[in-house]
Amino acid sequence: MRQKENIINSLTVCYFIIAFFEVIAEYFINRPMICILKPIIPLFLIVIYCIESNKKNKLFIVALLLSLITNILFIPNTQMYLFYGLLVFTVHRIIVIYLIFSLQKVNDFIPLIIATAPFLLIFFYLFLETVEIPPDSIYLIIFQNLLISMFAGIALSSYFMNDNKQNSVLLISALLFVMLQFVVFVEKYFLVDEFEEMLRPLAMTFNALAFFTFYKYVIVAEKSHHN
């Protein structure tokens, strides 16, 4: 048991070291380093999860693999690859929300709707103020806005209805994902080719932290269900 904890702790340190160097690579726009490090981050998380989890939820592993594909598709920074990246990430987000519903007890949908509304307003206001969105991506982005708002709404309503460790970790993860989507949207569509040296490292930071926190949520939820 102690050996297992040591392995997990060592791999976790490696995960954040890799994430740190990936953020640096994004800042200096070092394409070779980005191509190597960006796909490794979700792979490392899969390994850590498989070692720590006793259940090994296949949906979570699939979600991380889809994140890996999305990371690869976002590297070229062209409209075509961005569209396919959005498509894959939409499937990823659907799986994540389904996974949350399988791990969370949501008995009352009124708090969920109330908690979702502010996030919908923020993302759709940003969407309406943006003129650089390609026509083939409009419906995907609308759907993405609905999904991230629902994700955040589930986390926020669950936290206020029952403030326990599981819901606290989920809320932190959801807020990190909200900030990630906000930064990526601003970088890709709102401030195109502006402040790239700041926004891409910031997006990668939120990405690494959000997925790690979500992995922690899945572990806590699995242990809670087991108990």
Give a three-class secondary structure readout of 103-144. HCCCCCHHHHHHHHHHHHHHHHHHHHCCCCCCHHHHHHHHHH
Residue 18, sorted as left (phi over 0), alpha (psi -120 to 50) or beta, turns out to be alpha
Residue 89 has pLDDT above 90, yes or no: yes
| Rounded-to-10 torsion of CA 201, 179, 45, 140 | -100
Residues whose CB is less than 8 angstroms from the CB of residue 62 and which lie 6 or more positions away in sequence, other chains included: 95
The gap from C-alpha 98 to its chain's centroid, in whole angstroms, comes to: 14
- pLDDT at residue 18 in the model: 96
Please name the residue that has the structure tokens 């160097």: 21
- pLDDT at residue 186 in the model: 85
User: Other C-beta atoms within 10 Å of 118: how many?
Assistant: 13
- pLDDT at residue 195 in the model: 67
Contact 126, 190 (CB under 8 A): yes
Give the confidence band of 19 by pLDDT, cuts at 50, 70, 90: very high
Q: How far apart are CA 110 and CA 128, in angstroms?
A: 27
Phi, psi of 63 (to 5 degrees): -60, -40
Give the confidence band of 220 by pLDDT, cuts at 50, 70, 90: very high
Residue 213 has pLDDT above 80, yes or no: yes
Give the confidence band of 136 by pLDDT, cuts at 50, 70, 90: confident
Q: How far apart are CA 108 and CA 205, in angstroms?
A: 34
Residue 103 has pLDDT above 70, yes or no: yes
